[in-house]
Amino acid sequence: MMFTLSPEQTDLAAVLHGFLGSGKTDLASLGVDEVTDPVDLVVVFEEIGHHALAGPWIETLAVVPMLLGGAGVGAGTGAEPGATWSVAFPPLLPHAVRADRYLLADADTLHEATPTAEPESVDPTRHLVGLSPGPVIATGVPTARAFDLGVLTCSAQLLGLGRAVLEMTTAYVKARHQFGQPIGRFQAVKHHLANVLIGLELARPLVRGAAVTLTTRDVSAAKVATSDAAWQAARTALQVHGAIGYTAEHELGRFLLQTRALRTAWGSPSLHRARVLEAL
């Protein structure tokens, strides 16, 4: 089955690409905070990943609106317009990402929460916090479905990260010369980059298909595929760039660290393989 974007979704991706590429981060000014359709959210989050935009965007734009019953999560909660949100789903997601407001999901019950300790994160731009539960603000909330939406949008973000890393590496192998020619002409380098491209292209229809069905099996399969594809892109990029890829000063670094963090966020690959197996 083919999963292709509509012209409107293609335009949305192009607008977001230009917006984020110009250094702007106020997604609410584009009305992105009103997007609720899972397929549209996949388009949004692939571009967020493509630009390695840091912040609790999965929670603010996708998960918390579902938990609270729609877009515009500031309504009726006392939050300032434009506030960022984060949520924990223990034990699957024990920590939240630093934000303005916090929620804690316990079965089908939603609590307000306050931050406690801040554990160390592999990605210095992704600050984690432990949460202490507060008053109950809602019961009967769709926590399982909201968690799966978080998994889906994390998968789309990983897909965008992998795409960006491949683009950066491709540009590098065209510019880097060795033995009088670009290293991109060497067959071994071509094979590595081709394998990365194949992994990303095979993961993309799984993400789009999961956005249509939003079943646990499909979103977990998408998370496994994008985690593996983005991780392969990151490892290949680091090998091709050499020592410069390890430095904090090189742009590649923040993409690698975000990929490493999101690969295990919203459930590790092994957890999602187990969920797929249970659903068969």
The domains located in the chain, with CATH, are 145-279 (1.20.140.10)
Structure tokens that stand for 68 in this block: 């609270």
> What's the pLDDT score for residue 72?
47
Mapped onto helix, strand or coil, the DSSP state of residue 71 is coil
> What's the pLDDT score for residue 89?
95
> What's the pLDDT score for residue 184?
84
Structure tokens that stand for 75 in this block: 């309504």
Sign of the torsion formed by the C-alpha atoms of 100, 106, 107 and 111: negative
> What's the pLDDT score for residue 177?
83
Sign of the torsion formed by the C-alpha atoms of 14, 16, 17 and 21: positive
- Phi then psi for 230, rounded to 5 degrees? -70, -35
Nearest-angstrom CA–CA distance, 196 and 29? 34
Q: From first to last of the 280 residues of the chain, give the pLDDT tens digit.
A: 567 889 999 999 999 999 999 999 999 899 999 999 999 999 999 999 999 999 999 999 999 999 998 544 544 444 566 789 999 999 999 999 999 999 999 988 999 999 998 888 899 999 999 999 999 999 999 999 999 999 999 999 999 999 999 999 999 999 888 888 888 889 899 999 999 999 999 999 999 999 999 999 999 999 999 999 999 999 999 999 988 877 878 889 999 999 999 999 999 999 999 999 999 8
Asked if residue 93 lies in contact with residue 59, where contact means CB atoms within 8 angstroms, the answer is: no
In the block, tokens 């079965």 appear at 107
> What's the pLDDT score for residue 98?
94
Q: Which residues in 33-69 are b (16+ Cβ under 10 Å) and which e?
A: bebeebbbbbbbbbbbbbbbbbbbbbbbbbbbbbbbe
Residue 198 CB coordination number (10 Å) = 12
Name the residue among 93, 235, 224, 89 with its Cα closest to residue 155: 224
Task: Report how many helices (DSSP H) and strands (DSSP E) the chain contains, helices first.
Answer: 9, 8
List, in sequence order, every beta strand (DSSP E) within 153-263: 177-178, 181-182
β-sheet bridge partners, residue 113 = 133
- Phi then psi for 186, rounded to 5 degrees? -75, 135
> What's the pLDDT score for residue 37?
94
